[in-house]
């Protein structure tokens, strides 16, 4: 159930049976020579929709641009400053809490979002922690990375092992190919596995990772793998969502 595809009356009905909502959050940034700039948003969105179907949950529109300052050395990458993203998350939660939603499940497609979104949750909680009188009803936020599902990790470690890497991974590229068959671009990477390391800003990143990949070989991507990963992620995350919403 996509929020965008409902009327307000539908949402009123939904709130009688559940106060949980799934919020996909991704990023718009380079993903190496054959990965889509939308990879992280696409992964979050398709897994989010899958959770919605599996758990009968409402799914908010995807936050497509995340915190990706380090990718700005590659054309097409976009970022929100951390303080901007904090404001976006805060307004998102406040808007939905206004209607009675209390469980906010952010399904995340981008490692670079974790710190800022976690900080955003603390910014939200700080208001009721500092002014406890207003703490009604109790809201809870959770950030879940789709790729940290144990089922997903089992598949990707068998399929890719040391070629999985941490950016522009064959797993995420495969997942986008499953979602968008027209996106498939078979390529041989050179070197096969990209270097690993750390980075600070976008100049430093581009210096260290000249084609955008970190430690990965997305040349190994395939639609078949994408389908398996998708199903695994949805199963794990839907279970996790249900437990999150059911908890006190």
Residue 15 CB, nearest approach to a second copy (Å): 6
Site membership for a second copy, residue 108 (CB under 8 A): no
50 versus 73: smaller Cβ distance to a second copy: 73
CB atoms within 10 A of CB 182: 6
Residue 236 CB, nearest approach to a second copy (Å): 18
Of residues 60, 66, 59, the one with CA closest to residue 26: 66
Site membership for a second copy, residue 69 (CB under 8 A): yes
174 Cβ partners below 8 Å, 6+ apart? 221, 222, 223, 224, 225, 226, 229
115 versus 154: smaller Cβ distance to a second copy: 115
SS3 222: coil
Of residues 170, 183, 160, 159, the one with CA closest to residue 218: 170
Site membership for a second copy, residue 15 (CB under 8 A): yes
Q: Among residue numbers 109 through 148, which ones bind a second copy (CB under 8 A)? A: 112, 114-116, 118-123, 125-126, 128-132, 135, 138-141
Instruction: Select the residue interacting with a second copy from 20, 22, 34, 170 (CB under 8 A).
Output: 34
Instruction: Select the residue interacting with a second copy from 19, 20, 22, 41 (CB under 8 A).
Output: 41
Pairing of strands 58-59, 103-108: unpaired
CA distance 123 to 85: 11
Site membership for a second copy, residue 200 (CB under 8 A): yes
Site membership for a second copy, residue 51 (CB under 8 A): no
Q: What is the DSSP string of 160-200?
A: HGGG--SBS-HHHHHHHHHH-GGG------SSSS-------
141 Cβ partners below 8 Å, 6+ apart? 93, 104, 106, 121, 124
The tally of CA atoms less than 13 A away on the side-chain side of residue 113 is 32
Site membership for a second copy, residue 42 (CB under 8 A): yes
Site membership for a second copy, residue 70 (CB under 8 A): yes
Site membership for a second copy, residue 37 (CB under 8 A): yes
Residue 75 CB, nearest approach to a second copy (Å): 4
Instruction: Select the residue interacting with a second copy from 19, 28, 145, 216 (CB under 8 A).
Output: 28
Q: What is the DSSP letter of 60?
A: P
What is the size of the binding site for a second copy (CB under 8 A)?
A: 89
Instruction: Select the residue interacting with a second copy from 33, 56, 184, 235 (CB under 8 A).
Output: 33
- CA 86 to the chain's CA centroid: 16
The pattern of x and - marking residues 180 through 199 that bind a second copy according to CB under 8 A reads x-xx-x--------------
């Amino acid at each position: 159930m996509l929020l965008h595809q409902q009327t307000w009356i539908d949402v009123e009905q939904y709130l009688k049976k559940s106060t949980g909502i799934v919020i996909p959050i991704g990023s718009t940034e380079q993903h190496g020579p054959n990965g889509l700039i939308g990879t992280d948003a696409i992964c979050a969105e398709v897994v989010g929709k899958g959770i919605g179907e599996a758990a009968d949950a409402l799914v908010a529109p995807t936050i497509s641009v995340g915190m990706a300052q380090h990718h700005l050395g590659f054309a097409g990458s976009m970022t929100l400053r951390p303080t901007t993203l904090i404001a976006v998350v805060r307004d998102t939660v406040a808007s939905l809490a206004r209607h009675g939603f209390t469980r906010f499940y952010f399904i995340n497609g981008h490692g670079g979002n974790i710190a800022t979104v976690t900080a955003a949750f603390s910014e939200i909680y700080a208001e009721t922690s500092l002014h406890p009188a207003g703490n009604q009803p109790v809201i809870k936020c959770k950030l879940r990375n789709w790729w940290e599902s144990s089922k997903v990790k089992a598949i990707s470690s068998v399929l890719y092992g040391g070629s999985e890497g941490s950016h522009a991974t064959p797993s995420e590229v495969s997942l986008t190919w499953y979602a968008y068959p027209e996106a498939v671009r078979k390529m041989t990477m050179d070197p096969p596995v990209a270097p690993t390391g750390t980075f600070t800003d976008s100049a430093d990143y581009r210096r260290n990772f000249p084609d955008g990949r970190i430690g990965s070989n997305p040349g190994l991507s395939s639609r078949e793998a994408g389908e398996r990963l998708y199903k695994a992620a949805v199963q794990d995350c839907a279970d996790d969502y249900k437990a999150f919403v059911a908890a006190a």
